[in-house]
Amino acid sequence: MRRSGSWQSVWDDRILEWIRENDGTGTAKQIDDSGLVRVQKPHITRRLKKLTEHGLVKHVGNGAYLLTKEGEGYLDEEYDVERSVWLDTNQAEDEEKESGVNV
């Protein structure tokens, strides 16, 4: 299970997934044009800025964003965005068992 942050919106995962599927980089316009994220470009731009603030993507200029290792780790369920920590697989499984979530 992905460990999202309390600040994340429902569109953030789709934005991150789109960037990963497109060689790890993309712009708000490209994401908007793809039709995968069904919000307008200004909203995508705001979400990319928020994802940048939290280290999941990096702004590399000309409106382009690069998926970071933390962003990749989040998508792979290896990074806890809320706490900004990498997960130890055994620790993550123990926490999920304690909370009653099956792994």
Global pTM? 0.83
CATH topology of domain 12-95: Arc Repressor Mutant, subunit A (1.10.10)
- Structural domain boundaries in the chain: 12-95
Q: What is the distance in angstroms between the CA of the first residue and the CA of the last residue of the chain?
A: 8
For residue 3, give every residue at least 6 positions away whose Cβ sits within 8 Å of its Cβ, in sequence order, or none: 74, 77, 79, 80, 81, 82, 83, 87, 92
Q: Please name the residue ranges forming H helices in the chain.
A: 12-21, 28-34, 41-53, 69-75, 89-98
Band of residue 88 on the pLDDT scale cut at 50, 70, 90: confident
Residue 96 has pLDDT above 60, yes or no: no
pLDDT of residue 103: 44
More confident residue, 66 or 4: 66
